[in-house]
Structure 1
Amino acid sequence: MNSNITVPKPQSRIAELDLLRAFAIIAVIAIHSTSFATIEMTASSPVAYFLYIAANIGMNFAVPVFLFLSSLVLFKRYGNMPFTGQTFISFYRKRATQIIIPYTVCSAIYYIAVEVTRAGWDLQASLLPDFLEKLATGTAYAHFYYIFIIIQFYALFPFVLRLLQAFPRLVSWGIPFGIAVQAAFYIAGQFVDIPNAASWFLSYFGYYMLGVFVGIKYDEIRSAIVSLRGGLVQRFGLALLWGGWLASGLAYIVLWYKFRINTITPQTWTFYFAGSIYAYLSALTLTYGALILETRWTHTRVVRFLKKLSPYAFGIYLLHPLLLAAYRELRPLHAEPYLYHIWYIVGFLLALFGTWAIVAFAQRYIPLAWIVLGSNEVKQAR
């Protein structure tokens, strides 16, 4: 058995992955705070509308990167350890308290909030089966599909780990296998109706397996990146990575922009494959960028800011739609175009910093805040 997988060694918090998590949560906030703008601001100037599309569509790497990061962290931490019965119990106990309980409670809160908005406080017992169905499919509110997918990947984790520990040569085949499974699931969905397809882990299996590979090989990959000497081959490789990422992102944004202004009507598979290429390259490029920031600019204000934000990402993810929903009730009517632009910018800042402040305060001063907002990762990191 490959010693790189089975020899236990202690794992510590990886600073550059905190930066990657911060990138992803900022992208999530950007997507949700500009979602209405992509529909309501079509009459604004072409440049302004393109920027809204860029801020929304260009950040669509968020969930794939979060899923990639989650599997990376799991396999970086546990890939070198024997997964015993005690480890199994400890692993799922932590996930129950850190993920499943907050997911269940927040799903109930959002579900009730939506029903109250629609029909007032006259809630009927007949709503319970509907809620349970939505809870079991990650559809109680729009952003919960991601957490539901994470739970599925946690259920899958010990089986994948055992398989790769028993057959370490399969690690190198994980990425093409994951991409093939994800593509096959998408293609199958074009011929067969798959309810809530975006809520099932197979829709994101390629990102998961990419994280598995990088997590198991992380020390080797990190050492190789840090030791790069800037030779011609290395520079060409980095130019290819960054250039490919920027080009794929721009192509994806332009595709959506032209579609939204009714210039073109592409086939649905065009969006899927363009978005997938951009997401895969985003996971790799942003991981590299986070590592470079950590190793070369770790003491800068930007890096310190991102590190402070990162531990609260899960709580921010859970809570920010509530603040955005409340803020949207204050939308100005018949205002000048520039006021709408300001309103959307303020919404982004409120969703990010307002939610961050609430989560930080609650996790520090309210003993049972973890039930709603997840665990305090700041305390865990100490």
Structure 2
Amino acid sequence: MKPLARKHLDEVQYARVLALLGVFAVHSTSTGVVESNPESFTFIIYNFFNIAGKIGTPVFIFLSSFVLFYTYYPRQLTFSLFQRFYKKRLLYILVPYVVFSAFYFLFRAYLGQNFETFPAMVKRFLIDLSAGNAQYHLYFVFVSVQFYLMFPIILYLFKRFEFIRKYAIPLGIIIQWTWVVLNSLYIQVPSKGSVSLSYFMFYFFGAFLGVYYEQVVAWIRNWRKIWPAIAAIVLGYVFMIYLYVTIYYDIRTGQWTGHNKWVEFAWSTHAFFAAAVIFIFVHYLETWNFPRIKKFMIEIGAVSFGMYLIHPFFLTSLRLNAPLSGEPLIFHSWQLLTLILTFFSSWLVVRLFYDFVPHSWIFFGNGNRVFNKPKKSKVKDKKEVNV
């Protein structure tokens, strides 16, 4: 049976860029947070971007879920459908994950001059690979793989039961918080962030929007009637940024006396509002006449997975070569320069790989060509949602 086609969404690429900027904000401000005086104004700035940017992983999971359900929900569930689904994930997600896990494992061993016997290194690498711990950012791919394994079952349940479709958002929140409480009281998994249950509210939120996309977009575009609701969502996001940033400021300055559950609540609710605001914003952006901005965002969105994978290498390399001066101006200027160089170096490497390196999917997954496009083909190009 031929799959049901749905409209290509540039909005997904715009949203990926915003999530990626959150990732870069967190990782590029970590040194500034550690090295700045907690009583200084610069510490407040670093702390703000370091905490407000912690939307990257949950928003990427939200977007991944949205695209999957937007693409696959209208289709008939067949063995061949899921066979193609897992083939794509194996080639374009798992293979790059293994390659970069090995790369960062060896890179860390080189930096620390920590060379063990070959069997010992292989054993340690396999342990890191199995838990997404080869580098601090690869847990996101590890979590995504867990969702891919569950996807056929969850998709079936969404198609089979209207109750699950209709109440996906509250169900996702209940599942996630049930896991949080049970893990805190009984299970006590130390790397909770590497367990998919920690992100179910974002996964089910994306699934809900993927299923009811046309109705939700019609609601968003009727802004004259629903602007109070949108304003409430934006105000909720602003308030949760303030709460989350303030909590972490108090933690980092030794003033926090609250319970850890407040930290969990602030993080998850802040990121949940961020996903909603981003989803609404990108659909308004698509209607605005900003062709250059949208073209830039489509390009960055198309290479966002590769940039996510490679950027810690540039970030670490630049920090190893930071100026030794203790002057605040030089220190803060280097932090900003590091962010800019990391961003554009990551983009350039991924773009050049896609355009000029054969089998670039091995390193960065599925990508498109810009500079080295093949000559005209008799077959017309088709735009598809990148899933």
TM-score, reference length from structure 2: 0.92
- Offset, 1:377: 4.1
Residue 31 of structure 2 aligns with an amino acid whose one-letter code is F
* Counterparts of 2:315 and 2:267, CA distance in 1: 26
- Offset, 1:151: 0.7
- Offset, 1:48: 1.4
Per the alignment, residue 343 of structure 1 pairs with: 334
Count of aligned residue pairs for this structure pair: 372
- Offset, 1:372: 1.4
Between 112-121 and 160-169, the greater mean CA deviation after superposition: 112-121
- State the percentage of identical aligned residues: 29
Cα shift readout 1:213-264 (whole Å, capped 9, x = no counterpart):
0110111111221233x14xx2221211111111111121121112212233
Pairing partner for 2:123 from 125, 129, 134:
129
5 Å-filtered alignment, 1:1-382, equals 9-42=4-37, 46-120=40-114, 123-192=117-186, 193-228=188-223, 230-231=224-225, 234-299=226-291, 301-377=292-368, 381=383
* Counterparts of 1:309 and 1:378, CA distance in 2: 13
Residue 34 of structure 1 aligns with an amino acid whose one-letter code is T
* Counterparts of 2:117 and 2:294, CA distance in 1: 47
* Counterparts of 1:197 and 1:227, CA distance in 2: 40
* Counterparts of 1:123 and 1:110, CA distance in 2: 18
Between 58-67 and 167-176, the greater mean CA deviation after superposition: 167-176
Do the aligned residues in 1 keep the contact of 2:172 with 2:203 (CA within 8 Å)? yes
5+ long unaligned stretches in structure 2: 371-381
5+ long unaligned stretches in structure 1: 1-6
Do the aligned residues in 1 keep the contact of 2:169 with 2:205 (CA within 8 Å)? yes
Partner SS, residue 97 of structure 1: helix
Do the aligned residues in 2 keep the contact of 1:324 with 1:347 (CA within 8 Å)? yes
TM-score, reference length from structure 1: 0.93
* Counterparts of 1:77 and 1:332, CA distance in 2: 49
* Counterparts of 2:114 and 2:233, CA distance in 1: 52
- Offset, 1:265: 3.4
Residue 348 of structure 2 aligns with an amino acid whose one-letter code is A
* Counterparts of 1:140 and 1:127, CA distance in 2: 12
Do the aligned residues in 2 keep the contact of 1:42 with 1:261 (CA within 8 Å)? no
CA RMSD of aligned residues (A): 1.9
Do the aligned residues in 2 keep the contact of 1:26 with 1:352 (CA within 8 Å)? no
